Each structure stands twice: as structure tokens, then as C-alpha cells.
Structure 1
């Protein structure tokens, strides 16, 4: 496998906890960025409504669990300012438990900028298919000049660097393999899948196959994940098995193997190199070096 991407540049993210609670309100700032993020647990929304960040023009994300899926439910919106929109959602949207807002510290984002950010975030979430979008309407991209588009894309790039630091990686598609990436295969029950380790989890490649049947003892979360992948179009039924339509990141090798095999599985022993070495043996050999 080869990949010519440049090595990511180092950067720092500053988290400030105004209430002193690690699970409470957080402000987020990144080095060399004009933006600021604000993370608000729903239980603290009422007492956070007066913060200056919510009086700014910006884009926001609502996150919460879905009752029928292992994937999170997500809503993306924009506000000019953000605060009144979150007030509305506090009254008419029940699913969310966290709100994350992003605005410019120097107030240089206008309505067109944030509409562009909203459109792009929704588009990215649809492509990654790692969450269930609560958005009913599909916003269209606003008309921006070349310079404004570049500015908005730059702001978005920094948002996308901050979100995984906060634990929200559902806008990211599967990372591409590098020159040193080792590929693993899983062969069982007449199907074959390929994948590799990444810092975000375990990536199963497009074209990989998954069994259609499930064992009676399969964990509920694996069954829910399989159903979600079918509904999202990541798994397509081609007769005797499912086939994956895109590279997809699972949170662990075992989840990847379990979803592929339709049963509980130890991914460290199921995934093997072309010459038969298990993921476990590779990992242990690296530790022993």
C-alpha cells in the first residue's frame, strides 16, 4: 500500500473548564486559529445560555444516542447568533445530550460563511456514515467568492481537527493507508475481508464481504451495528453475502471482525497477514522489539 499524503503538522489544542468539571462546559481553542469552540452538556445548557460564544454567528452540532442504533444521532445547524437556535432545540429536540458550537473570535464569519460550514459538515457526515443525521432538509451551498470559500474551508479544517480531540470523529472518513501500513485479511464462512489498523480504529476496506446470518449468541451491539450499516448503505446485499461499499472505520479490530462474521469475535486473532500472522502476534512482536 502506498500513500503520498504529507505528514500532518503538529498543533496544540487548549481546553478550558470554566466550571472545573471535566464532564462540564468546555471552551476549545487551537493554535493559529481565529475560532473558538464551546461544548455544553444539555444538563448545563440553562446556566450556559449567557456565554458570549452563544451570542456570535456560528455553526453548531447536537449529539446524542440513538435508541435503535449503536451510531450516535447528530444534528448540524447554523445560527446568527447561535444561542436562539439552541434555545429552540432545547424545547423541540429530545435526543441530544451535548451541544458543540464554533464561532470566530474576531467576529469575521458572516451568514454565508456559516451556511457553507453547515452544508459541508452535513455533506461530510453523509459521506463518512458514522452517525445518524437528524437533519431532514439538505441545505444547498451558498454562493461564495473564491476568497470567501477558501476562508470558510480553512475554518472548517480547524473544526475538523478539534472535533476528534473532543471525542467526535463522525465527520471523518476512513484514513488512507500509508507506505508502512500492514494489511490484514479475514477469511471465514465463504467470505473474505481486508483491513488495517489506524489511529482511529480498525479500517475495513471497500469490497470486503460480510456474512448475512447472525448467531443466536451475537452481542446486541454487533447486531445493531450491522443493521445500521445496511440502512446506511455501507453493507449492500449481493446475494450470498453483504459487500462493503466504502472503507469504514470500526472502533476496534474485534468490533470489525464481529460485524463481518455476525458473531462475537476476537479481532486480534481473526485478522491475519497474508503469511498467516495474527494481529496479536504482530502487536506483541512490536512490543518485544
Structure 2
């Protein structure tokens, strides 16, 4: 049975862009988010002067993937002063530590390794890490405790606006226990197909929008009805190598998140399209029919 969780966020200056402290009720994990230009103030937070893991995040300013770096230290605040001098891309850090001071060097090395692996699998950010960190050897009980803390870190990151550990498409293996299960006729997380002019695209409706799946093919050309935003996005995807030119069409080299099924269909077709009437399930039902059925069931 899934259980909800309450995350308490303290804003010391009553502003959402400054330092924020987050904790889950009745749990020992805690997080502190800090803008780069406020690093000197971390000395006032003893939570940052202990063993922990941290993420350096680049602001999302365009359609390209933002960069991130995952690290660990026995004194995170001190380590960050080094990063401030040596790494230029980031504008905010999110730090994780334990209230009970029970995290050892082995624990944080284990967390760092697992976090990098999860972030790579989710593929939402370009990781600036060099070599993959070695996963330290822990006893079964300690490993389970760290896996539980990883779930808390995932919740902290998502709540603070950084879903770096969230797969674009949730599977039964990756879906957290707190997520509600979809009904068989629900359009959420169900693979859909769109075909037009010999182009074949597959996608999935999610809580965040519509995910166009890797290897979907798209039109190289577009009409005047395609929005300027989508024209610029297509150009950016080609420049990034996420859309590859193959003969008379384009092919996606990775999953990408779109704001809606209509935007996804328009990107594929190169012209304005109705997403709910373009995408179909394996049993031949349109996305509109699936949404109508889900609404009726609710």
C-alpha cells in the first residue's frame, strides 16, 4: 500500500530563490539548496560541514540539456569552495546529509556511485563527472539503509525543482511506491503510435507532458503552420545531435520530453497537428478516446 510523505521546506529569508532547508517528517535525511553567490553563508549551516553528497546544477535557460555534477565529501562546505574556483557552469548546489551524523565515508561513496548511475539512466542532465565513482562495499543492512536514503534524496531533488533522478517514462521497475497505479485504459505511461507520410513515431503520455521515444522518425521539412517555438526546438535538437539527419527524414537518438501530445505530433509531422487525434494505442484507440474513458471512469 503506498504512503504519502510530507516535506517541510524552511525559507530563512522568506524567498524561494535563496537558501532553502528541506526535511521529510520523521526521517533523518535533510537537504539544503544554496545559490552559488551565497556560498559564504553556508558556514552558518552546520548541516553542510559534515559528510554528505551534493549536486551542482546549471540553470535551464534553453532547450539544451542543462549540466550537473554529483560529488561527495566529508565536509561539503569546504569542498564547494574548491568547486567555486574550478567549475564555471553551475549556479546552485543542493546538499544532502543526515541529522544523526551516522554517514561514514563508505556510506557517502556508495550514495555518490548510485546517484550517478540513476542520473545517467534518467538522462535528463549532461553530467560533468569524469570517471564513474567506485561503489563502496557495505553490509546488507547498511546498503538497504542507503537505498532508503536514496529514495528521500529523489523526493528532495524533485521537490526543489531538479528531477534529475526521475526517468522520463516510469516503468514498473522504476515507478516509486508512492505513485498511484494507472488503470488499464489510462493514457498515462501507455505507449502510443503516430504515423504520417511514412514517418513512424512512438511516445508516452506522462504526468510531466508527452515523451517522444528514441528512434521515432520526423519530417525534415515544415510548413508555415508550425510554431516558431517548434522550429527553433527542431533546429536545436539537430544541433545537439538528438535529431539525426537520415536521408529524407530525421531520427530521434534519445527520448525527449514535450509539453503536450500536440507539440509532439507537430514536431514529427512538421505541421500543426491535434495530438489527441494523432496518437493511437496498440488496440486502435486514439489518445482522445483514452482520455475520455479515463475521465468517465474518474
TM-score, scaled to structure 2:
0.78
| Alignment correspondent of 2:33 | 39
| 47-56 vs 124-133, greater mean Cα deviation | 47-56
Q: Any idea what SS the aligned residue of 1:14 has?
A: strand
Partner residue of 2:75 out of 62, 78, 81: 81
| Alignment correspondent of 1:286 | 295
Q: Deviations over 1:258-287 (max 9, x none)?
A: 554466766455434565645499369939
| Alignment correspondent of 1:202 | 210
Do 1:210 and 1:259's aligned partners in 2 also have CA atoms closer than 8 Å?
Answer: no
Structure 2: unaligned runs, 5 residues or longer: 173-181
| Alignment correspondent of 1:223 | 235
Q: Deviations over 1:35-57 (max 9, x none)?
A: 10001112222233431121111
Partner residue of 1:187 out of 192, 195, 212: 195
| 27-36 vs 221-230, greater mean Cα deviation | 221-230
In the TM superposition, residue 250 of structure 1 has moved relative to its aligned partner by: 4.0
| Alignment correspondent of 1:161 | 155
Q: Tell me if 1:112 matches 2:124.
A: no
| 209-218 vs 130-139, greater mean Cα deviation | 209-218
In the TM superposition, residue 171 of structure 1 has moved relative to its aligned partner by: 1.4
> Alpha carbons of 1:124 and 1:251: their partners in 2 closer, same or farther (altered >3 Å)?
farther
TM-score, scaled to structure 1:
0.81
Q: Tell me if 1:102 matches 2:96.
A: yes
Partner residue of 1:211 out of 210, 218, 232: 218
> Alpha carbons of 1:262 and 1:33: their partners in 2 closer, same or farther (altered >3 Å)?
farther
Do 2:276 and 2:286's aligned partners in 1 also have CA atoms closer than 8 Å?
Answer: no
Q: Tell me if 1:56 matches 2:50.
A: yes
In the TM superposition, residue 149 of structure 1 has moved relative to its aligned partner by: 1.0
Do 2:51 and 2:103's aligned partners in 1 also have CA atoms closer than 8 Å?
Answer: yes
Task: Provide the aligned C-alpha RMSD in A.
Answer: 3.3
| Alignment correspondent of 1:12 | 6
Q: For the residues of structure 2 that align with 1:160 and 1:205, how far apart are their CA atoms?
A: 23
In the TM superposition, residue 172 of structure 1 has moved relative to its aligned partner by: 1.4
Q: Any idea what SS the aligned residue of 2:134 has?
A: coil
Q: Any idea what SS the aligned residue of 1:115 has?
A: helix
Do 1:66 and 1:95's aligned partners in 2 also have CA atoms closer than 8 Å?
Answer: no
| 242-251 vs 148-157, greater mean Cα deviation | 242-251
In the TM superposition, residue 229 of structure 1 has moved relative to its aligned partner by: 6.2
Q: Any idea what SS the aligned residue of 1:62 has?
A: strand
Aligned residues: 278
| 239-248 vs 81-90, greater mean Cα deviation | 239-248
